[in-house]
């Protein structure tokens, strides 16, 4: 069970986040929507425990996986090492298989800098999926991909959620992605940002 209770978050003088509280149950998927610059990434960093300079409390499990808004790979290690170093338990074969799933199976021995940006993003996704996390955090995971590839990634995410059952929190601008993952939708609004009025979540719709 993940419990988020942020009272406020300031950068210097300016307050970015107001009171934001919600919970995510095991196996549940939550999507955060909101315009650019509202504070979605800030919220995710707080939830992930990267940013600790805020008022409030966050309860989270230990086994987490994150997909940042930018790929954030180790440019000096090969593509496959970017999986195996982060997940020491992952065998090389499993790593290769994971790379193949995201469509960069033939790039295992290149450096990340030799991938296209879309391929780097998929590697970051592979890294997040490979660990069978209890809590999956993703910041706009499917942008910069063509429609077909984005669909593949979305399907992969669905499979992971079905098989491993992590709590999932992700940011997106595309409402259809949230719906595809049957996510509860939280919308950030205003300055400082707070959760908008409860929207009909994808789950409740049918």
Partner 1 sequence: MSGRGSIPAASLFGLLILWTVAATLTADPQVLPQPWALAGPFLRELQSGDLLYHLGATLLRVIWAFALAMAIGCALGLVMGRFEKVDRWLDPWLVVFLNLPALVLIVLCYLWIGLNETAAIIAVTLNKVPNVTTVIREGARAFDPNLDAMARVYRMSAWTRLRHVLIPQLAPFITAAARGGLAVIWKIVLVVEFLGRSSGIGFQIHLYFQLFDVAMVLVYALSFIAVMLAVEWTFLQPWERRVRRWRVA
Q: Which residues bind its own copies (CB under 8 A)?
A: 11, 33-37, 39-41, 69-70, 103-104, 114-119, 122, 140, 143-149, 173
List interacting residues with ligand ATP (CB under 6 A).
Answer: 11-12, 16, 34, 36-42, 69, 107, 114-119
* Minimum separation from the CB atom of position 88 to its own copies (A): 28
Q: Which is nearer to ligand ATP, 12 or 197 (CB)?
A: 12
* Minimum separation from the CB atom of position 69 to ligand ATP (A): 6
Angle at 144 between CA 138 and CA 149, to 5 degrees: 85
* Minimum separation from the CB atom of position 202 to partner 1 (A): 27
Tokens linked to 192 = 């400082």
* Minimum separation from the CB atom of position 77 to partner 1 (A): 6
Nearest to 34 by CA among 202, 170, 132: 170
Q: How far apart are CA 150 and CA 91, in angstroms?
A: 26
19 binds, among ligand ATP, its own copies, Mg ion, none (CB under 5 to 8 A by kind): none
Q: Which is nearer to ligand ATP, 131 or 172 (CB)?
A: 172
Residues 6+ apart with CB under 8 A from 205: none
Helix (H, G, I), strand (E, B) or coil at 44: helix
Q: Which is nearer to partner 1, 54 or 68 (CB)?
A: 68
170 binds, among ligand ATP, partner 1, Mg ion, none (CB under 5 to 8 A by kind): none
143 binds, among partner 1, ligand ATP, its own copies, none (CB under 5 to 8 A by kind): its own copies
Strand partners, 29: 168
Q: Helices (DSSP H) in the chain: which residue ranges?
A: 40-48, 81-84, 92-101, 117-130, 147-164, 175-180
Residues 6+ apart with CB under 8 A from 184: 28, 29, 30, 31, 201, 202, 203
Q: Which is nearer to its own copies, 94 or 143 (CB)?
A: 143
Q: How far apart are CA 60 and CA 136, in angstroms?
A: 11
* Minimum separation from the CB atom of position 130 to ligand ATP (A): 20
Q: How far apart are CA 117 and CA 105, in angstroms?
A: 16
Residues found near partner 1 in the complex (CB under 8 A):
45, 48-50, 62-66, 68, 70, 72, 74-77, 81, 85-88, 110-111, 113-114, 127, 131, 137
């Amino acid at each position: 069970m993940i419990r988020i209770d942020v009272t406020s978050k300031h950068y210097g003088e300016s307050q970015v986040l107001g009171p934001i509280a919600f919970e995510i149950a095991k196996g549940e998927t939550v999507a955060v929507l909101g315009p650019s610059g509202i504070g979605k990434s800030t919220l995710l960093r707080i939830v992930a425990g990267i940013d600790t300079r805020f008022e409030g409390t966050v309860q989270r499990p230990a086994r987490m996986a994150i997909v940042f808004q930018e790929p954030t790979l180790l440019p000096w290690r090969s593509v496959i090492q970017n999986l195996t170093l982060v997940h020491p338990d992952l065998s090389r074969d499993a790593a290769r298989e994971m790379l193949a799933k995201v469509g960069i199976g033939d790039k295992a021995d290149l450096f990340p800098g030799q991938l296209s940006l879309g391929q780097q993003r998929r590697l970051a996704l592979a890294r997040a999926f490979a660990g069978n996390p209890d809590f999956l955090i993703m910041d706009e995971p499917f942008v910069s991909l063509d429609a077909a590839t984005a669909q593949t990634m979305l399907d992969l995410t669905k499979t992971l959620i079905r098989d491993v059952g992590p709590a999932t929190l992700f940011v997106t601008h595309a409402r259809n992605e949230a719906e595809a993952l049957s996510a509860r939708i939280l919308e950030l609004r205003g300055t400082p940002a707070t959760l908008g009025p409860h929207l009909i979540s994808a789950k409740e719709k049918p």
